[in-house]
Chain A
Amino acid sequence: DSGVTQTPKHLITATGQRVTLRCSPRSGDLSVYWYQQSLDQGLQFLIQYYNGEERAKGNILERFSAQQFPDLHSELNLSSLELGDSALYFCASSVDPGAGSSGSYEQYFGPGTRLTVT
Chain B
Amino acid sequence: DAKTTQPPSMDCAEGRAANLPCNHSTISGNEYVYWYRQIHSQGPQYIIHGLKNNETNEMASLIITEDRKSSTLILPHATLRDTAVYYCIVRRHNAGNMLTFGGGTRLMVKP
Cβ contacts B87-99/A at 8 Å (1 or 0 each): 1000101111111
Interface size range of chain A in the complex = 20 to 34
Q: Which of A13-21, A66-74, A77-85, A92-100 contacts B (4 or more CB under 8 A)?
A: A92-100
Contact A42-B101, Cβ < 8 Å, known A106-B34, A106-B46 = yes
Whether B41 pairs with A88 at a CB distance below 8 angstroms is: yes
Whether A101 pairs with B49 at a CB distance below 8 angstroms is: no
- Which residues of chain B in 5-25 are interfacial with respect to chain A, using CB atoms and an 8 Å cutoff? none
Residues of B within 8 A of A99 (CB): 94
B45 CB within 8 Å of chain A = yes
B53 CB within 8 Å of chain A = no
How many chain B residues touch A (CB < 8 A): the figure is 24
Give complex CA distance A77, B42 in Å.
21
Main secondary structure of the interface of B (DSSP, over half): loop
Contact A43-B97, Cβ < 8 Å, known A90-B43, A104-B49, A109-B43 = no
Give complex CA distance A31, B103 in Å.
25
A2 CB within 8 Å of chain B = yes
Whether B97 pairs with A2 at a CB distance below 8 angstroms is: no
Whether B41 pairs with A104 at a CB distance below 8 angstroms is: no
Give complex CA distance A103, B50 in Å.
11
Whether A104 pairs with B46 at a CB distance below 8 angstroms is: no
Give residues in A with beta carbon < 8 Å to B: 2, 4, 31, 33, 35, 42-45, 48, 55-56, 58, 88, 90, 92, 94, 96, 99-112, 114
Give residues in B with beta carbon < 8 Å to A: 32, 34, 38, 41-46, 49, 51, 87, 91, 93-103
